[in-house]
């Protein structure tokens, strides 16, 4: 029995990118017995049933972080320790939520598999300070669980290098590069890239999808779009997602009718958003290899993005998009315009660039690695 732990349910319709990642794993698990542990999701809108080989147990009952402190960690240790004592698991597949590091590290199994979707904790030092409780906890948790894990997947090459630096040279083979993947059968271009889009060079449609959070730097994206809109007055910027910065971002966008906020939408609707967009704008301050980036490229939509984390591993200048400096809104606007000028060629290259990130290929590799340590 493989135990998968994450703080959001893969059964709900409103899933984040890692929940979708987990769902892809369990839907392609080929009959392997799996038990998912997560939050109580009975009050949420649930998606289709999980496969017969997969069970779901509600373990977590409250948010982990509150106001920058760590009150529920001891509670989580108690909850998980009790569950582990009652369970018989061959291995634990755990996704990086550092609040669960101690409970997982204290479990009785030796077969812990960890997936890291980020690239370190420098951002916590900048935001909270190197002597803050949150930073110290994160550093200790990461070092502990990486050393405790038998296998660690990092979704970007930068993340792989960072994680290998935490262990002795002889142990670095267990830190493996395993990139984020995209379902290339769902996220597809229009039937023909020659087909007329909702956007056009005269009326370009710029897209952002994801959380409305500080680290996504949507304030800089809006600033760049305002410059771009001076050149293309009919341009539209669709910001798809939800988050605690929505009211602030709406104030920044006040008076600009071309900026439209859209609540989180279904998979089918998001595919249409990518297909109709002229480009995706992603100016995050930190990322691994973001799923929204791969989804956009799979739909044939080029990307203008910051050069953080694993993004430069995917986005190549003048081929499928551009890497930009988010602090230079004029440069960002220039690159957005270059994508419009490029026409169909960059859209064709965008789709071709996701060949190494196909879901079926990556998921098979992941399960093969897990089988090697758990069977």
Q: Is position 289 within any domain?
A: yes
Whether residues 163 and 245 fall in one domain: no
Q: Is position 193 within any domain?
A: no
Whether residues 150 and 288 fall in one domain: no
Roughly what angle, to the nearest 10 degrees, separates helices 218-231 and 329-342? Answer: 60
Q: Is position 286 within any domain?
A: yes
Percent pLDDT > 70 in the chain is 80
Whether residues 220 and 79 fall in one domain: no
Task: Assign 63 a pLDDT band (cuts: 50, 70, 90).
Answer: very low
Q: Is position 189 within any domain?
A: no
Whether residues 6 and 119 fall in one domain: yes
Better-scored residue on pLDDT, 375 or 236: 236
Please report the pLDDT score of residue 295 as a whole number.
95
| pLDDT per residue as tens digits for the range 85-119 | 666 667 777 776 666 666 677 666 778 888 887 65
Whether residues 281 and 155 fall in one domain: no
Q: Is position 191 within any domain?
A: no
Q: Is position 176 within any domain?
A: yes
Whether residues 218 and 124 fall in one domain: no
Better-scored residue on pLDDT, 239 or 141: 239
Better-scored residue on pLDDT, 120 or 248: 248
Please report the pLDDT score of residue 70 as a whole number.
46
Whether residues 212 and 322 fall in one domain: yes
| Token duo for residue 355 | 């060949």
Average pLDDT over the chain, rounded to an integer: 83
Whether residues 167 and 214 fall in one domain: no
Please report the pLDDT score of residue 331 as a whole number.
97
Q: How far apart are CA 5 and CA 99, in angstroms?
A: 12
Residue with tokens 């990556």: 362
Mean pLDDT calculated for residue range 211-226: 94
How many Cα neighbours within 13 Å face the side chain of 44?
A: 15
- CA-nearest of 178, 200, 229, 184 to 359 is 184
3-state SS of the chain is: CEEEECCCCCCECCCCHHHHHHHHHHHCCCCCCEEEEEECCCCCCECCCCCCCEEEEEEECCCCCECCECCCHHHHHHHHHHHHHHCCCCEEEEECCHHHHHHHHCCCCCCEEEEECCCCCHHHHHHHCCCCHHHHHHHHHHHHHHHHCCEEEECCHHHHHHHHCCCCHHHHHHEEECCCCECCCCCCCCCCCCCCCCCECCECEEEEECCCCHHHCHHHHHHHHHHHHHHCCCCEEEEECCCCCHHHHHHHCCCCCCEEEECCCCHHHHHHHHHHCCEEEECCCCCCCCHHHHHHHHCCCCEEEECCCCHHHHCCECCCEEEECCCCHHHHHHHHHHHHHHCHHHHHHHHHCCHHHEHHHHHHHHHHHHHHHHC
Mean pLDDT calculated for residue range 255-277: 88
| Token duo for residue 239 | 């910001």
| Token duo for residue 208 | 């952002």
Q: How many Cβ atoms from other residues are within 10 Å of residue 2's Cβ?
A: 24
Q: Rounded to two decimals, what is the model's pTM?
A: 0.86
Whether residues 369 and 244 fall in one domain: no
Domain count, the chain: 2
| pLDDT per residue as tens digits for the range 278-330 | 999 999 998 889 999 999 999 999 999 999 989 999 999 999 999 999 999 99
In this model, does residue 197 exceed pLDDT 70? no
Percent pLDDT > 90 in the chain is 41
Q: Is position 336 within any domain?
A: yes
Q: Which of the residue ranges 35-39, 73-77, 322-326 would you say has the lowest mean pLDDT?
A: 73-77
- CA-nearest of 254, 263, 262, 247 to 226 is 254
Segments forming the whole domain that contains residue 131 = 2-181+358-374
Whether residues 128 and 216 fall in one domain: no
In this model, does residue 333 exceed pLDDT 70? yes
Whether residues 94 and 240 fall in one domain: no
In this model, does residue 345 exceed pLDDT 80? yes
Q: What is the CATH classification number for the domain harbouring 45?
A: 3.40.50.2000
Q: Is position 363 within any domain?
A: yes
Please report the pLDDT score of residue 374 as a whole number.
75
- CA-nearest of 151, 156, 59, 130 to 99 is 59
Whether residues 318 and 340 fall in one domain: yes
């Amino acid at each position: 029995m493989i135990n998968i732990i994450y703080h959001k349910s893969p059964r709900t319709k409103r899933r984040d990118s890692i929940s979708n990642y987990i769902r892809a794993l369990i839907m392609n698990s080929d009959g392997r017995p799996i038990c998912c542990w997560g939050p109580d999701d009975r009050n949420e809108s649930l998606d289709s049933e999980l496969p017969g080989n997969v069970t779901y147990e509600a373990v977590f009952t409250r948010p982990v972080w509150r106001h920058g402190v760590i009150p529920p960690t001891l509670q989580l240790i108690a909850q998980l320790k009790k569950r582990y004592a009652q369970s018989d698991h061959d291995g634990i597949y755990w996704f990086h939520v550092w609040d669960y590091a101690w409970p997982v590290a204290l479990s009785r199994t030796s077969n812990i598999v960890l997936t890291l979707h980020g690239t370190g904790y420098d951002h916590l030092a900048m935001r909270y300070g190197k002597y803050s409780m949150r930073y110290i906890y994160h550093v200790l948790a990461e070092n502990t669980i990486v050393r405790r894990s038998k296998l660690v997947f990092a979704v970007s090459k930068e993340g792989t290098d960072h994680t290998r630096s935490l262990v002795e040279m002889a142990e670095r083979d267990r830190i493996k590069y395993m990139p984020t993947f995209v379902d290339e059968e769902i996220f597809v271009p229009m039937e023909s890239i020659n087909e007329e889009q909702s956007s056009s060079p005269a009326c370009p449609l710029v897209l952002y999808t994801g959380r409305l959070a500080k680290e996504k730097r949507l304030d800089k994206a809006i600033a760049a779009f305002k410059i771009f809109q001076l050149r293309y007055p009919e341009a539209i910027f669709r910001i798809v997602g939800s988050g605690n910065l929505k009211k602030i971002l709406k104030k920044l966008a006040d008076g600009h009718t071309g900026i439209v906020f859209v609540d989180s939408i279904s998979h089918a609707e998001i595919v249409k958003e990518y297909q109709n967009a002229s480009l995706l704008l992603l100016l995050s301050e930190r990322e691994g290899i973001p799923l929204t980036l791969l989804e956009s490229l799979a739909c044939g939509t080029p990307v203008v993005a910051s050069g953080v984390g694993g993004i430069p591993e995917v986005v190549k200048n003048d081929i499928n998009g551009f890497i930009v400096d988010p602090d230079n809104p004029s440069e960002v606007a220039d690159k957005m315009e270059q994508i419009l000028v490029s026409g169909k060629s960059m859209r064709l290259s965008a789709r071709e660039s996701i060949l190494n990130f196909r879901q079926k290929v990556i998921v098979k590799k992941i399960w093969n690695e897990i089988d090697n340590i758990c069977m």
